[in-house]
Amino acid sequence: MSETANQAGQTAKTKPKFDFPTWLPPMLVKELRQGLRTRAFVLSLIGLHTALVLAFGWALVMQIFDKSAGLNMANNFFWMLTFVMLVFAMPLRALGGLRSEIDARNIDLLMLTQLTSWRIVFGKWTSLVTQTALLLVTLLPYGVIRYFFGSVDLIQDMVTFAWLFAFSSMATALLLWVSGLHRFLRVLLVVVVLILFNGMLGSSFYGMLRYGFGGSRGMFSGLQSGPIAIQLCLLFDMAIFLVFCLVQAVRRIAPPSENHSMATRLISLAALLPLPLLMLMRHASRGVRDAMEMQSVLALVVFMLVCVLELASTELPMAVQVRQLYGKGGAVRRFFTRIFLPGWSSAAQFTFVGLCLFGALVLAGAFPDELPHARFLRVLALVWVAVVTPAALISLFLRRVRVFPLIIYGLLQSGIGLLCIFAAFVIHETQASGNISRTIDNLFRVMPVTGFWFELGYMTRRHGDWSTMVTGLQFLVFVAAVGFAWWCSRPFFAAVRSGVRSIKPEPETNDDK
């Protein structure tokens, strides 16, 4: 009896070699097992195939009377349902990915295991993307059925499937990040994304609904027919955006002692990686030149958005974060420690270094020639003042506010933007005299935040107002903004010094002696 029990115990301890939980990440196994059993996935799969069977059956009946009508109907329904399921329905399931774990207090229990915050987020994203890929594979037989309705370009369909899957993966990562935010921020961000999506893709989506989703008439035909350099840059930028969203999702559930500001800020500079190669090949063709200009402008926009996200923070670095980055390495290591720590002060220094890098790219000719270099450099200096000054004011007067600092920062910038619009209306639309209009214009060009927006309006003017007085006052405002930000950063420098003092010196060994 005892021998039988021992044999049963040994058999239970032996893990099957080819069982997928033994060679897949545990978080992915957990999410796959739960996700494939959910009603959302099952109903989506059954509903999609039911709709396709009915649509193809009706198209087969229509083909008896008109072959072209049957082909158009089959293509329209096939691509419409595929687009809706891959780009909308499946990514929307990520909205409950992190919030359900946070509300159920499961994150703390998961952190007690060997799972890190990155493995948790990556496992959830991989599970959702795997379910999307499974749904996409089940659609392949309908692509074969479409051959019976007429000619179908299989290669172009595969490319369209690849683009749809890429956009679906990117949307899943974005909504997974959104799922970790507060409810108010989630609603606000979803509304903003819907407005932007309606403005950018509304006309294309309406055209697809009206004229068909099939083949080259689809939404991605322009991407497929564009220059190869632009397509490669677009794929690279999509990968950067995907990784950025995953890092932000990790920040929502990570312990406060983990420093993810370094990864976030380095990702904002990753869009600059293709520029050296594009600059070397810019004379090869017009497509490479266009790709270089688009990539440089996009990199600057992404960099500023990430900097704004980092500046809207009132936290101070912890001693453990300083110890992790400080280490050994002399002045260079200490410099990079300051620009990669959490907090708006560190983000302000990082923004300054990044804008200097973009200024060097302006002088190297990476940006469009229509933008004057001298005025562009002035705008880069003023944009630092425009984004850092509100963050310094928030840290000075609202230091204890820990809830929604990004909302306060956004409201402050929006109010200043409305003030600029009103001033521009007064200058150009009212019957004010020339002296009054010129005075208002010069005043707003000199003020700390409004100066950037007014100077941005002069970007395309090669022969704008180059008043020596305005230029001198803008330089004084820039110097004053640097001094004010440095003065407001005293708690940050105190926290850094405290973290440096907490570093214990390594004990001397006999070899050192």
Q: Which residues contact 87 (CB under 8 A, 6 or more apart)?
A: 164, 167, 168, 171
Residue where a domain terminates, one of 194, 219, 244: 219
pLDDT at 174 over 80: yes
Q: What is the pLDDT of residue 206?
A: 45
* 298 within a domain of the structure (yes/no): no
Whether the Cβ atoms of residue 387 and residue 312 lie closer than 8 Å to each other = no
178 versus 286: which is more confidently predicted? 178
Q: Among 90-94, 274-278, 427-431, name the one with the lowest average pLDDT.
A: 427-431
Whether 112 is in a domain gets the answer yes
3-class SS string, 126-162: HHHHHHHHHHHHHCHHHHHHHHHHCCCCHHHHHHHHH
Min mean pLDDT across 155-169, 252-266, 435-449 is at 435-449
Tokens of 118: 């990155």
Q: Does 340 share its domain with 485?
A: yes
**Residue 70 pLDDT:** 67
| Residue at 239 is within a domain | no
| pLDDT the model gives residue 13 | 53
Task: Tell me if 8 is assigned to some domain.
Answer: no
DSSP 251-300: HHHS-TTS--HHHHHHHHHHTTTTHHHHHHTTTT-HHHHHHHHHHHHHHH
Cβ proximity of 174 and 37 under 8 Å: no
pLDDT tens by residue, 184-239: 777 777 777 666 666 555 445 445 444 444 443 445 555 555 567 778 888 899 99
Buried b (16+ CB within 10 A) or exposed e, 217-234: ebbbeeeeeeeebbbebb
In single-letter form, the type of residue at position 10 comes to Q
Both 28 and 174 in one domain: the answer is yes
Write down the pLDDT at residue 217.
45
Domain boundary among 180, 203, 219: 219
Higher pLDDT, 142 or 201: 142
Pair of tokens at residue 387 = 């984004």
For position 214, what pLDDT does the model report?
46
Instruction: Report the mean per-residue pLDDT for the chain.
Output: 78
Q: Within a domain: residue 476?
A: yes
Reported as a pLDDT band with limits 50, 70 and 90, residue 358 is very high
Length of the chain: 513
User: How many other CB atoms are there within 10 angstroms of residue 136's CB atom?
Assistant: 18
Average of per-residue pLDDT across 351-370 = 87
The predicted pLDDT at position 454 comes to 76
> Which pLDDT belongs to residue 132?
92
Who has greater pLDDT, 205 or 480? 480
CB 138 within 8 A of CB 49: yes
Residue 170 lies in a domain: yes
Is residue 291 a part of any domain in this protein? no
Res. 1: pLDDT tops 70: no
Q: How confident is the model at residue 315 (pLDDT cuts 50, 70, 90)?
A: confident
Judged by phi (left if over 0) then psi (alpha if -120 to 50, else beta), residue 343 lies in left
In Å, what is the CA distance from 93 to each residue of 38, 190, 199, 201, 482?
Answer: 10, 14, 24, 22, 45
Q: Are residues 202 and 325 in the same domain?
A: no
User: pLDDT-derived band of residue 111, with 50, 70 and 90 as boundaries?
Assistant: confident
Structural domain that includes position 151:
20-219
Last residue of a domain, one of 219, 243, 276: 219
Q: Give yes or no: residues 208 and 336 share one domain.
A: no
The end-to-end CA distance of the chain, in Å, is: 65
Q: What is the pLDDT of residues 419-474, one digit of tens each?
A: 777 777 776 665 555 677 777 777 777 788 777 777 777 665 554 555 677 778 88
Contact 150, 67 (CB under 8 A): yes
Q: What is the mean pLDDT of residues 15-32?
A: 69
Quick check: 323 and 499 in contact, CB under 8 A?
Answer: yes
* Total count of domains within the chain: 2
* Residue 4 included in any domain: no
Determine which of 172-186, 263-277, 394-408 has the lowest per-residue pLDDT on average: 394-408
Residue 239 pLDDT? 92
Contacts of 23 (CB under 8 A, 6+ apart): none
